[in-house]
Structure 1
Amino acid sequence: MARQVIFALLLFAPISSVLCGEVTVTHAPSSLRFGSAGVVRTTDLDDVLAASLGYTPIQSSPWRGLTITSPFASPSAAVVVEVRGGGASVRLEGATYGLKEDATIDEVFHRLKTIYGVRAQRHTLFKHINVDAQGSEDNTHYSLPDTRALNISKEPDSSFLRDMAALVSTAHSVADLSSKAHGGQDVFFLQVDSLEQLVSVYGTDSPQVSEAVDILRSQLVRVTDLMRQIYNDDVLVVAAIGEQTHTHTRKTRSILQYTKQQADLNLNTEYSADYPAIFNIILWLSIILALSVLATSVAMATMDPGRDSIIYRMTTMRMKKDN
């Protein structure tokens, strides 16, 4: 019996080490709906973000948590906050899914920029920002959170607390970088690394990490509120909490694999960039012609034969002549 238990633990240990992160949609516009679904892979995260922004994904994803309720109302921006948690669970409010970390969030950003950036129909800003208080010169929005277990004069506590203040300051700077005023679309990735350092020093069950998680949760709520204010609620805000450390080896998916796999996969037809315009022209022209035919049919059916139509009038005279 003991051998069976040990074998089961060894069998499922690699699975639990991969299915460990979490991704939470803290805010989504009315054109998007995130429902119940299973674990999402980071290699599919770029396709999910691209579909949310109005693009057709290059390949079909098995993840079915996203429903686009209005395809003609794409959000003005997508903001992804990456937190390297090192094993700490944040549990934010919103639609939360398991995150299978088979690639890094950095690779998600580069694939999104490289593959979908060239297909953009309007100006699109791609910006990856590493939130680092030590390398930032803007202290106008810094406000260090109150602490009980964390010590501001001690590392890595000090780095984490300053990064939390810098996270809000970076969110403020998005308003200056945004291309929304010029009719563009924004994609921001914000990266926070200092929580992982706390976990490696104190452990996931320590009071320091518990307090850090509470502070991170409150700061992410502030970031979400700021993004909603900047984009008038027309923004997708996602928080990705990774559990694996960035030094681990991860399975990656290169850009060249797309072209190599397309010959073997049953993929949908790739349409040109003019397809949305052609589709709308044909759709609305068909609707207008159908309504015109319907209106003509109704008008002819309700026509007064004695006054409106020369055809009925001649037919009536002929009938009188025959009699």
Structure 2
Amino acid sequence: MLKNILVILSLFAAAYGSGKLTVLESPEQILFKKADKLDGKYMGHVFSACTGHSISESVPLKMRFTSPFDLAENVCLININGVKEFTPQNVKPKSEIDVYGTENSNEVFVNKLYEEDSSIVNINLDNGLETLSTMQDWCETPLKPENSKLFKSLKGEKNVVMEAAIVMSVLSEATCKMPAFLQIDCNIDSTKSRDKDLVPLFEAFETFGQKYQENSNGLGLLAIFTTVEQQTHKRSRREAGITPKFEDLNLADSYSEDYPVIFNIILWFGVLIAFSMLAICYAIATMDPGRDSIIYRMTSTRMKKDN
């Protein structure tokens, strides 16, 4: 139970600190207008609005929906810690939003998916090529790094950034079933990584975004959040491809499948008995005990006659 709670909490907090949110892919029905800044606590509200969920607060972000139908069905959030901003190489982003505040949370969005029992997946690129094995359950084609064009082009020792780029490259070339919410975490040590080392990774993210839209039938929303501030808490790791089981979180009493049927039978039978008794009492109270009634015959005394 404690493990499941930690898994959910790890999804609630996407990152801490200010940064930049780059919307790389989105459905045609969603238009992002130029915005100055966005408070990080509204990130979950933005995703909820883009997927057609109701929101309790007004989001201070200029968005326009050209149609209430065909909104985003899948959302992918890529968190890159250690990079100031995402620099697109070949794709023009839909929107670039500066995010401020001390906490950026997806709690609102994740809670709605949890209530709907939707699939939620969180992977960490820090695990390197091992990430592919945990993503295999979501993909129809085998995920092998040696089949990637990027893997073949890179020679020599591969660092964490290069392995992350290879993982994204392999996912870009595979046909996968996209969950309702996919969160990809990537931590980059800016002191060890040069700008030219990030180019293959950024290109892999762009290619993955295009493939993500294809796998989502054009109804996917992919956003990249970058921040250079260190996270102030330890995040729990979660293996991809395993949807968390929330049965242990339900503290209510367990009932059988026949409980609704039994409840309705007892409820309506009780209502029927109550109205029947009311009708009987009313009929007896308004009855006229005349000579033609059984009450008169049983209660009246007959006079004796002398012959």
TM category, shorter = 0.5 to 0.7
Query: Equivalents in 2 of 1:139, 1:24: separation in Å?
Result: 29
**Structure-to-structure mapping, 1:42-121, within 5 angstroms:** 42-61=40-59, 63-84=60-81, 86-92=82-88, 93-94=92-93, 95-100=95-100, 102-104=102-104, 107-108=105-106, 110-114=107-111, 116-120=112-116
Identify the range of structure 1 (86-95 vs 158-167) with the bigger mean alpha-carbon deviation: 86-95
Contact kept, 8 Å, 1:101 with 1:242, in 2: the verdict is no
Which residue number corresponds to residue 224 of structure 1? 209
1:139 aligns with 2:139: no
Please point out which of 29, 32, 36 is paired with 1:31: 29
1:113 match: secondary structure: helix
1:168 aligns with 2:169: yes
1:241 aligns with 2:226: yes
| 1:48 to 1:169, Cα distance in 2 relative to 1, 3 A | same
1:70 CA drift (Å): 1.4
- Tell me, which stretches of 5 or more residues in structure 2 are unaligned? 1-15, 134-142, 235-307
Identity %: 11
Which residue number corresponds to residue 200 of structure 1? 191
| 1:145 to 1:219, Cα distance in 2 relative to 1, 3 A | farther
AA partner of residue 224 (structure 1): G
AA partner of residue 35 (structure 2): A
Query: Equivalents in 1 of 2:47, 2:173: separation in Å?
Result: 22
Give the CA RMSD over aligned residues.
2.8
Contact kept, 8 Å, 1:145 with 1:165, in 2: the verdict is no
1:99 match: secondary structure: strand
1:23 CA drift (Å): 1.0
Contact kept, 8 Å, 2:172 with 2:204, in 1: the verdict is no
AA partner of residue 80 (structure 1): L
1:226 CA drift (Å): 0.6
| 1:72 to 1:220, Cα distance in 2 relative to 1, 3 A | same
Which residue number corresponds to residue 39 of structure 2? 41
Normalising by structure 2, what TM-score? 0.58
Query: Equivalents in 1 of 2:124, 2:75: separation in Å?
Result: 16
Post-superposition CA distance 1:143-171 (Å, at most 9, x none):
33856xxx852xxx611101111123345
Query: Equivalents in 1 of 2:156, 2:229: separation in Å?
Result: 26
Query: Equivalents in 2 of 1:89, 1:152: separation in Å?
Result: 28
Query: Equivalents in 2 of 1:228, 1:166: separation in Å?
Result: 18
| 1:48 to 1:145, Cα distance in 2 relative to 1, 3 A | farther
1:223 match: secondary structure: helix
Contact kept, 8 Å, 1:40 with 1:99, in 2: the verdict is yes
Which residue number corresponds to residue 185 of structure 2? 191
AA partner of residue 191 (structure 1): D
AA partner of residue 175 (structure 1): C
| 1:170 to 1:103, Cα distance in 2 relative to 1, 3 A | farther
Contact kept, 8 Å, 2:86 with 2:224, in 1: the verdict is no
AA partner of residue 75 (structure 1): A
Contact kept, 8 Å, 2:17 with 2:103, in 1: the verdict is no
1:88 CA drift (Å): 3.6
Q: How many residues align?
A: 202
| 1:158 to 1:31, Cα distance in 2 relative to 1, 3 A | same
Higher percent of residues as helix: 1
1:64 match: secondary structure: coil
Determine which structure has more spread, i.e. the larger CA radius of gyration.
Answer: 2
- Tell me, which stretches of 5 or more residues in structure 1 are unaligned? 1-16, 180-185, 202-207, 250-323
Which residue number corresponds to residue 118 of structure 2? 124
Contact kept, 8 Å, 1:42 with 1:103, in 2: the verdict is yes
Query: Equivalents in 2 of 1:160, 1:118: separation in Å?
Result: 32
